[in-house]
Amino acid sequence: MEIYCDNAATTAIDPEVAQAMLPFLTTHYGNPSSGHQAGRKVKLAIDQARATVAGIIGASPDEIFFTSGATEANNLALSGTIMTYEISHVITSKIEHKAVLQTLAKHEKEGDIEISFVKLDERGNIDLYHLENLLRANPRTLISLMHGNNEIGNITDIHAISKLSQRYDAIFHTDTTQTIGKLRFDLKEMNIDFLVGSAHKFHGPKGVGFIYINKNQRIKAQILGGGQERGQRGGTENVIGIAGLAKALEIANRDLAANHNKISKLKQYFISKVSIAGIPDICYNGESKSVENSIAGILNVSFPCLSQGSIVKKLDQQGIFVSGGSACSNLTTAGSHVLNAIPCEKDKENVRFSFSKFNTFEEVDHMIRSISRIYHAEPSALLHAAASK
Ligand code: PMP
């Protein structure tokens, strides 16, 4: 039995999505920039996909631009804004995705910007008072704060940030890669300038994503070429991927409430089962244990160190696929920048379980049995020591 419980890393393609992509792999292969019928047919499909995405997030189709994924979309939003508007100050947090942090670090190194990191509380939540103070002190700021954290699942109050951004005349970029198709939001109710998504996080294909660029913003393209995507992103469009992205988002949006309900229950079931599995000293990182304050599918757990080896690797050997964050000091894995930025118990093995609509309660039972077996094979003195800490 194989169990895939790493859905924050990527998800399985929904069979309905695969069906929607098929015609563009076989019959409809025209270049959307070609003026003939074969090209026009494909261009129409891209326009329909654009309208689908726009409709779901409350944008207008001319505010949606397809990219190769969220990494590219984040790069475009940040570098494009910094270079177009000569922004010299950016507010972000230490727990953003590397696609954001590394792009900003590059601009800082090149002398384009100064970065202020907003304070986080002990669970990794944004300190909105500190954010407001930073905004008050720094005119013409770009804010880059993610909606849902990919490691600890924290959900940021983007409504509140959008209000602050408007009040202080800032530009607001938010990475919604982990929340698109999972949490409902409407851009008509918020003042967001840039927002990004990636199809493979919501049961679509890899290598395709999108950026929403508010109609009041036009930024310098970062990939130059044939002027595709209305000049914002050169390169022949990934038509197959775009068809899959739109179908995947349509399905995610259609089934959002049912999926949220099922996935939340899977997480709660895991928490209740693991708490009675006889493993001492487990703790949860960020808000991931909370039903209200975290992405339904993400659970970030710290386990006591094993006397030898890693729990993530032992689970992998048994066909259970989960993600590791930071590791015990007897292992050599580099720590997670997210967990390093919040007070989290050190010298524990950190594991991210991330559930999807395709996971089952039987799989949770199986995972708990496997974890329990791993710990019960440990020398009893070690478990005792962990329990009495
Ligand atoms: N931002 C976040 C929050 C993510 O979780 C990821 C994927 N791990 C990315 C950006 C990058 O997405 P992509 O794989 O589409 O480049």
Ligand 1 centroid – CA 177 distance (Å) = 6
Look at ligand 1, atom 12, and give the residue with the nearest C-alpha. 70
Predicted local confidence at residue 334, as pLDDT: 64
Q: Nearest residue CA, atom 16 of ligand 1?
A: 71
Backbone φ and ψ for 99, nearest 5 degrees, come out as -60, -30
- Check the CA dihedral 83-151-252-184 and report its sign: negative
The Cα–Cα gap between 78 and 84 comes to 10
- Identify the active-site residue in 5, 305, 328, 344: 328
- Give every CB contact of residue 1 below 8 A, 6+ residues apart in sequence: 319, 366
**CB atoms closer than 10 angstroms to residue 225:** 10
Q: What is the pLDDT of residue 278?
A: 86
pLDDT at residue number 343? 81
Give the atom of ligand 1 at the shortest distance from the alpha carbon of 8.
5
Phi, psi (rounded to 5 degrees) for 140: 55, 50
What domains can you pick out in the chain, each with its CATH number? 3-10+256-387 (3.90.1150.10), 15-254 (3.40.640.10)
What is the mean pLDDT, run by run of 10 residues, along the chain of 389 residues? 96 98 97 97 98 98 98 98 97 98 98 98 97 95 98 97 98 98 95 98 98 96 96 97 98 98 98 92 93 95 91 96 77 76 83 97 97 87 59
Residue 305 region, left (φ>0) first, then alpha (ψ -120 to 50), else beta? beta
* Alpha carbon separation from 171 to 216, 293, 347, 373 (Å, rounded): 11, 25, 39, 51
What's the pLDDT at 331? Answer: 56
> 138 C-alpha to center of ligand 1: Å?
29
- Pocket probe for ligand 1: among 66, 145, 173, 178, the residue whose CB has the most ligand atoms within 8 Å is 178
CA dihedral sign, ordered 33, 35, 41, 46:
positive
Gap from CA of 186 to ligand 1 centroid (Å): 21
Q: Any idea which residue has 């699942």 for tokens? A: 153
Task: Confirm if 43 and 389 have CB atoms less than 8 A apart.
Answer: no
Report the amino acid identity of residue 63: E
Q: Which atom of ligand 1 is nearest to the CA of 207?
A: 15
| 247: nearest Cα among 62, 15, 25, 41 | 15
pLDDT of residue 373: 94
**Buried/exposed code over 272-287 (b: 16+ C-beta within 10 A; e: otherwise):** ebbeeeebebbebbbb
Ligand 1 pocket test target in 100, 104, 147, 150 with most atoms within 8 Å of CB: 150
Q: Edge-to-edge strand order for the sheet containing 64-67?
A: 64-67, 209-213, 194-198, 171-175, 141-144, 89-92, 114-117
Residues with CB under 6 A from ligand 1: 69-71, 97, 99, 146, 150, 175, 177-178, 198, 209
**How far is 69 from 329, CA to CA, in rounded Å?**
34
Question: What are the C-alpha distances in Å from 300 to residues 152, 206, 219, 267, 353?
Answer: 6, 24, 37, 11, 6
User: Among this protein's residues, is 328 annotated catalytic?
Assistant: yes
